[in-house]
Every structure is written in C-alpha cells, then in structure tokens.
Amino acid sequence: MMNIFENSQTAEILIVDDEPMIRDLLENIMEKTNYACYFAKNGETALEMLSRQTFDVVLTDIDMPVMGGIELAKIIKSKFTADVIVMTGQTRSYQYDEIINIGASDFVEKPFSPREIILRVNRVLRERHLKQETRKTHDELKESYLDSIHRLVMAAEYKDEDTGDHIVRIGQYCSLIAKKLNLSREFKETIYYAAPMHDIGKIGIPDKILLKPGKLTSDEFETMKNHTLIGSRLLAKSKSKILQMAHEIALTHHEKFNGGGYPNQLKKTDIPISGRIVAIADTFDALTSKRPYKDPYPPEIIYDILKKERGKHFDPEVLDIFITNFDQFLKIRGKIGTFEGRTDQHFMLSERDKEDGEIV
C-alpha cells in the first residue's frame, strides 16, 4: 500500500486555526511530509503572512475570531494565488457546494483523521501542479504562435526599415484605444496581436509601387488598394480568434466612416470596430513616420489632420478618444522607435498625401 506521507513534491502550507490543540495536531501530521508548514491563529494574521510570503495551500478553519475562514477564503481567491482548503464542523451551515462557490478547492469536516488531511492536501497540490503545467504549456504554445505571426508580418513588410517598431506600436495604440472605449479584456488582448497584421497583404504589391517616392498614378493606387483583399484572403477561414480579427482588420482598415474608403465602401458601424480602431492607429503612425515620399509630420499638424477627419475618415467616438488621449499616443510613438517630427512654420503636406487624401 502506498505511504501517503511519502511525497516527492514540496509545498508551502499555511494552517489557520484559533485552537492551539488543532494547530499542534496538524503540525504533528504535516511534519511527516515534505511540506513546509506555517501557522496563524486567525484570518487577519494569515493575510499579513500571505502579503509577505507565497503559499501553495491555505488550510483554514471557518469559525475564528477577528476574521473567519469564509472571509479569508474570499480575499485569498481575489488577491493571492494559493489554493484554499476549508476545515469545518458546521456542516449544517456550510454545505460542500457553498464552500466551493466561495473559491475553496476542497473542505474537511471536523473531527478529521491524519490520513484524510494528507489525502486532501495531496489531491489539491496535484491538481494545482497540473493546472500550472497546463498553463505553462499553453503560454509556450501561444508565444510560439505569436512569434510565427510576427515573423509572417515582418516578411510581408521587410522592405520598410521601421516595420519591426511599427507593428509593435500598432498593437499598443489599438489596445489603448480599446481600453479607453471600455471594450472587453479579451477584445483588448486580441486586437493587440491582430492589428499588426493589417497590412500583410502588401506582400502581394510590387516593390516599384510600395517604395515609389512620388505620387502614385491612378492605376498604381488601384493596385495598392488590393493589399486589403490580398490580406483578407491570406487570413481567411482560420479558427483562431486572433486571425479572425486580423482578417477583419486587413479587409476594413481603409474603409472610411462616410463610406468613401475601400475596398467595399462600408459606412459607419457597418465597418467593424476593429477596423475603425486600426484606421486611426495606422494613419497616426504613418503620419509620424518617415516614408519614401515624406518625412515625419509635426505633432501639431498630425493633430489637426486627424481632427478634421472626424465623421469623414474616422468614427467620431473613436477619434474623440484618440484626440483626448493624444499625449499618451505620442508617448508610445516616442518610446518605440524614433520620432523626428517637429513644428515648422513652412511645413507642407507631401504631394501624395495632399492629392490622394489617403495614407497607404
């Protein structure tokens, strides 16, 4: 028969009980294991210890002075990473499902046997270890997945020396806009990773057009506009939420709120919110960046250009958020890469921006 006290894993256990006899009993039980045990006589003392040290499991009584186990368990689950096992003799007041609903991982009825305590602690620690391993594997897969996406985007835009910084900035701009719009946490994270793929379709646009220093001809501009369709085809039919949003963005980030954009002349909220957000973020970053046909524009000029497009190119609500927090976006732009824009009384728009009215 397996010896339940012989366990190769180590753990930090905090035992919380106001009865010295119970604390002594649990100390005698736990000293046969590899677990390092610490003791507190009430919930308040336990929280002080939790603020100074990380514990794997907190084993707590329910009925204690100063702060009871139920309140303690709720605080632990909201602020700390420890699992909680509740000890109770009040089975009539607290049923199993109620205890689990407050965030506890298990409960033990008093009086208990040493074997039961160890089995419960071992089970909670095994599940904790499995969750940590699963999370680690998930994080590693996600990191690998996102690295592949980043490399794909870099391959699409490798001719632009600023591309690496540009795609990082776009993600940060869009995540900040989503936060200011009070969109969901999932949306903020998804757009952070999806937005950098907005121009992936440029991989299918000839260099002579992408790198042309002057104004594009009408035929060249029509070719350039195809990058939205190419990008949407490259990203279509994925099961990944990130790539699904990236597909949506690639197709719609050049649509305009008044219906004058491309490729489908969508209007207002027919343009998905992701596309409306990226439209502003991408235009802002393009205006602040050096291009074959222009130098970076000064912040004051950029501010005026964006503001004049309220309700035309840009969604008024999204633009207002951007304008209100303009300094924060300039800070992101300055923190990543270089920004050489400056105020110049002789400043003029580039011929391409002035005549096309479009940042491509």
**Distance, CA of 24 to CA of 41 (rounded, Å):** 12
DSSP symbols for 305-349: HHHHTBTTTB-HHHHHHHHHTHHHHHHHHHHSS-------TT---
Alpha-carbon distance 255 to 262, whole Å? 5
pLDDT tens digits for range 99-121: 778 889 988 888 889 999 999 99
Q: Which domains does the chain have, with CATH numbers?
A: 12-132 (3.40.50.2300), 157-356 (1.10.3210.10)
Q: How high is the pLDDT of residue 344? A: 53
274 close to 170: Cβ distance less than 8 angstroms: no
Element (H, E) at 12: strand 12-16
**Which residues does residue 88 pair with via DSSP β-bridges, in sequence order?**
109
**Helix orientation angle between 273-287 and 241-252, rounded to the nearest 10 degrees:** 60
Report residue 275 as tokens.
């596309």
Cross-sheet strand order for the sheet of 12-16 = 36-40, 12-16, 57-61, 83-88, 106-109
How far is Cα 267 from Cα 261, in angstroms, rounded to an integer?
Answer: 9
Tens-place pLDDT, residues 276-321: 999 999 999 999 988 777 788 899 999 999 999 999 999 999 999 9
- Please, which residues have CB within 8 angstroms of residue 30's CB and are 6 or more apart in sequence? 13, 15, 37
One-letter identity of residue 210: L
- Which amino acid, one-letter code, is at 217? T
Q: Express each pLDDT in 333-346 by its tens digit.
A: 987 666 665 555 55
Query: Taking residues 271-277, what's their average pLDDT?
Result: 98
pLDDT at 159 over 60: no
Query: What is the pLDDT averaged over residues 55-68?
Result: 93
Q: How far apart are alpha carbons 211 and 28 in whole angstroms? A: 76
